[in-house]
A and B are shown apart, each in its own frame.
Chain A
Amino acid sequence: MLEKKKDADGDTSYSISVGPVHPALKEPVKLNMSIEGEKVTGVDFELSQVHRGVEWMGTRRNPIQIMFLAERICGICNICHIMAFSKAVENAAGIEVPARASYIRTIAAELERIHSHVLWAGVAAHELGFDSVMHYTWKLRENVLDTIEYLTGNRITKAIVTIGGVRRDIHEKQVPRLKETTDYYLKSFDKLGKIFLKDPVVKSRCRDTGILTKKEALVTCAVGPTARASGVRKDIRVDETYAAYPELDMKPMMPDMVTGETRGDVYDRIITRLLEVKQSAEIINDCLNQMPEGKIVYEEKIPKLLAELKGVEGEGTGRLEAPRGEVFHYVKMVGEDSPYAWKVRAPTYNNMLAWVPMLMNEQIADIPIIAASIDPCMSCTNRAVVAGKTSSILTQENLHRLSVEKTRKIREALK
Chain B
Amino acid sequence: MITMQKELFRQLFKRAFTNQFPAKHAPKSVNALLEAVGKGKAKLNPPVPVPENFRGKIAYDKNKCIGCQLCVKVCPANAVVFKPKEKKISYHTFRCTFCGECVNVCPVKCLTFTDEFLLADYKKD
- Specify which of A62, A72, A136, A153 is in contact with B4 (CB 8 Å cutoff): A136
Q: Mark B66-86, 1 if CB is under 8 A from A, else 0.
A: 000010011111000000000
Task: With A154-B98, A195-B3 as known contacts, state yes or no: A149 contacts B75, CB within 8 Å.
Answer: no
In the assembled complex, the Cα of A69 lies from the Cα of B77 at a distance in Å of 8
Q: Mark A121-158, 1 if CB is under 8 A from B, else 0.
A: 00000000010110010010010001001101110010
Closest Cβ neighbor of A130 among chain B residues = B4
Chain A CB within 8 A of B90 CB: no
| Interface pick from B25-33, B39-47, B50-58 | B50-58
Contacts of B105 in A (CB 8 A): 302-303
In the assembled complex, the Cα of A62 lies from the Cα of B55 at a distance in Å of 22
In the assembled complex, the Cα of A165 lies from the Cα of B51 at a distance in Å of 23
Closest Cβ neighbor of A72 among chain B residues = B97
Task: With A66-B76, A199-B1 as known contacts, state yes or no: A302 contacts B97, CB within 8 Å.
Answer: no
Chain A CB within 8 A of B101 CB: yes
Closest Cβ neighbor of B54 among chain A residues = A153
Contacts of A157 in B (CB 8 A): 97-99
Cβ-defined contact, B3 with A198, below 8 A: yes
- Specify which of A146, A194, A199, A302 is in contact with B101 (CB 8 Å cutoff): A302
Cβ-defined contact, B3 with A191, below 8 A: yes
In the assembled complex, the Cα of A167 lies from the Cα of B98 at a distance in Å of 14
Contacts of A191 in B (CB 8 A): 3, 7
Interface size class of B (residues with CB under 8 A): 20 to 34
Chain B CB within 8 A of A64 CB: yes
Query: Total A-B pairs in contact (CB under 8 Å)?
Result: 78
Closest Cβ neighbor of B1 among chain A residues = A199
Contacts of A61 in B (CB 8 A): 76
In the assembled complex, the Cα of A159 lies from the Cα of B50 at a distance in Å of 17
Chain B CB within 8 A of A67 CB: yes
Cβ-defined contact, A201 with B1, below 8 A: yes
Cβ-defined contact, B51 with A150, below 8 A: yes
Chain B CB within 8 A of A65 CB: yes
Instruction: Report the minimum CB–CB distance from B54 to chain A (whole Å).
Output: 5
In the assembled complex, the Cα of A130 lies from the Cα of B53 at a distance in Å of 38
Cβ-defined contact, A65 with B17, below 8 A: no
Closest Cβ neighbor of B8 among chain A residues = A132
Q: Mark A49-86, 1 if CB is under 8 A from B, else 0.
A: 00000000000011011111101100000000000000
Task: With A154-B98, A159-B55 as known contacts, state yes or no: A306 contacts B73, CB within 8 Å.
Answer: yes
In the assembled complex, the Cα of A72 lies from the Cα of B77 at a distance in Å of 11
In the assembled complex, the Cα of A153 lies from the Cα of B58 at a distance in Å of 13
Contacts of B75 in A (CB 8 A): 65
Q: Mark A96-133, 1 if CB is under 8 A from B, else 0.
A: 00000000000000000000000000000000001011
Chain A CB within 8 A of B104 CB: yes
In the assembled complex, the Cα of A242 lies from the Cα of B31 at a distance in Å of 55
Contacts of A146 in B (CB 8 A): 51
Contacts of B99 in A (CB 8 A): 68, 71, 157, 159
Contacts of A167 in B (CB 8 A): 100, 104
Cβ-defined contact, A194 with B1, below 8 A: no
- Specify which of A142, A153, A199, A201 is in contact with B53 (CB 8 Å cutoff): A153
Q: Mark B1-24, 1 if CB is under 8 A from A, else 0.
A: 101100110010000010000000
Contacts of A168 in B (CB 8 A): 53
Q: Show 29 A/B contacts (Cβ-Cβ < 8 Å), sorted by A.
A: A62-B74, A64-B74, A67-B76, A68-B76, A68-B101, A130-B4, A136-B7, A136-B8, A149-B51, A152-B55, A153-B51, A153-B53, A153-B54, A153-B55, A153-B113, A154-B55, A154-B98, A157-B97, A157-B98, A157-B99, A159-B98, A159-B99, A159-B100, A168-B53, A194-B3, A199-B1, A199-B3, A201-B1, A306-B73
- Given A64-B101, A153-B54, A302-B105, output 8 extra A-B contacts at Cβ < 8 Å: A62-B73, A132-B4, A136-B4, A149-B50, A150-B52, A153-B113, A195-B4, A199-B1
By a beta-carbon cutoff of 8 Å, the part of chain B in contact with chain A is 1, 3-4, 7-8, 11, 17, 50-55, 70, 73-77, 97-101, 104-105, 113
Closest 6 CB pairs of A and B: A153-B55, A65-B76, A68-B76, A68-B99, A150-B51, A194-B3
